[in-house]
Every structure is written in C-alpha cells, then in structure tokens.
Amino acid sequence: MINKVEICGVNTSKLPVLKNEEMKNLFVSMQSGEYEAREKLIQGNLRLVLSVIQRFSNRGEYVDDLFQVGCIGLIKAIDNFDLSQNVRFSTYAVPMIIGEIRRYLRDNNAVRVSRSLRDIAYKALQVREKMLLNNSAEPTIAQIAQELEVGREEVVFALDAIQEPVSLFEPIYNDGGDPILVMDQISDDKNSDELWLEEISIKEALKKLNDREKHIVSLRFFNGKTQMEVAEEIGISQAQVSRLEKAALKHLKKYI
C-alpha cells in the first residue's frame, strides 16, 4: 500500500518538487501574508511526508491516516520555520513530521496509557530539551524530576509508558549489504555459544556409553521418564536401573 499512487485523493506521482531558492522566496512571501505561498510550500513538500511515513509502514496502520498526520507535522514545520537560521527546511521538518506520527501512534496504541502519565512524560521531554539547549549536556532523570517537582521513579515510569514497541526485525544499520536488525543486538542466554558447545560435548560423551546405558539416559533425561517407567519398558528392576543410571552419569562426567 505504501507504493500506491493515490493517497488521500492526492496523486503522489505528480507532486511538485521545489528548489531551494524557490523555497526561500515562498517563505518570504508567506511571512508577508501571502496565503497562496503557504499552500505552495505545503504541496511542494508532500514528498517529504511520503518519505517519512515509509519508516512506519510495518506498523499495520493505514497509509492514508499516517499521511494525514504527517501533513499536520509538515504544516507545523512550515508555520514555525525560521529563515534566519542557517538550516535546510527538510532538516527542520523531518523530526517534526516524525514526532507528529509518533504521537498519533502512541495515542492510538492498543496499550492504553493514562492521560496524567502521558502529561508527565511530555513535560519531562520538554524539560529535557530545555536543559539540553541551555546546558549543552544531557540532563539526568533526577534533574528532570526536580524541575517537575515529582518523584524520580514517576518520571522513569512515565517515559517508559510512552515508548512505542520496536520490531525485532527493524533494521538499525545498513552498509549496503545485509542489514543489522534489532534482534542481532540482543543477547540470548538460552542460545549462547557456551550452551551450544556444552550440547556438542554431551552428545560426544553419550557416544562413549554402551547401548543399555545410552538407552537409560535417553529415557530418563530426554524423555522425562521415572526409574520405575524405565524398568518396566526395558524389563529389569528399578534397582538395576538406578545402578546403571549412576554408572552412566559417572562415565558422562568423565568424558565431558
């Protein structure tokens, strides 16, 4: 759906592209009160919205909805852009479009977060940006909590609550070859090299046992049967099973 030509009644294949000089002239005209200049800036930057919403194509949201929300972010960026700052409009607009879409996704998330908690989180983000701008350093949670006059734990909980879920298959880096995914950066204690080598070691040690010992170990520790059940299956007493099992484990320890 992300590749369809028409989104919200807009033929995306025919969207105009504005040159840098045209953009500057339109901003000057818009700030002088020309309404048509604002409309041209919106139309001329809709491709920017299209490029941003592709980042959110795996969320299961309707493309039309994301496009409309992205347009709101674009309009806010146009209305607040300062020509005196030596920065490209796209550099300023993209974070605002992304922020608008993320707010929409958070507010429409199946996991509901209370309004009071969201308020604390958004205030904490505003305080963080303010402190970062004034001090040129990342503020601590304790400093943010002190500024908001709330508990540190409350700030942490609020910020965690508004974090959107990330797919394990979301790429985080691509150098032109195979992308590195989020899951590639997560350790798995249940699938470590040590356990893998240990499993190989056990399999090799099992080969050293005789057939009866191997059969008993397999039934007891791989099939989860009791000594009584093993005894009935192979036709010997439970005492014999116990003796053979101990001997087999002793051999395994020796080979491992």
pLDDT in tens, 164-196: 655 555 565 555 555 666 555 555 555 555 555
Task: Specify the CATH number of the domain 111-166.
Answer: 1.10.10.10
**Do 240 and 231 meet the contact criterion of CB atoms below 8 Å apart?**
yes
Q: What is the pTM of this model?
A: 0.44
**Inter-CA distances, 16 with 45, 50, 70, 73, Å:** 8, 13, 17, 19
Q: What is the per-residue pLDDT for 1? A: 44
How much of the chain, in percent, has pLDDT values that exceed 90? 4
Question: What class has domain 190-255?
Answer: mainly alpha
**Do 101 and 64 meet the contact criterion of CB atoms below 8 Å apart?**
no
Half-sphere exposure for 178 (CA within 13 Å, toward CB)? 4
Q: Where are the domains of the chain?
A: 1-108, 111-166, 190-255
CA distance linking residue 212 with residue 51, whole number of Å: 66
Return the closest-CA partner of residue 108 out of 60, 155, 76: 60
Architecture of domain 1-108: Up-down Bundle (1.20)
- Once rounded to an integer, what is the mean pLDDT over residues 136-150? 88
Decide if 111-166 and 190-255 have a common fold: yes
Q: For the segment 87-109, what is each residue's pLDDT rounded down to a tens digit?
A: 888 888 888 888 888 888 877 76
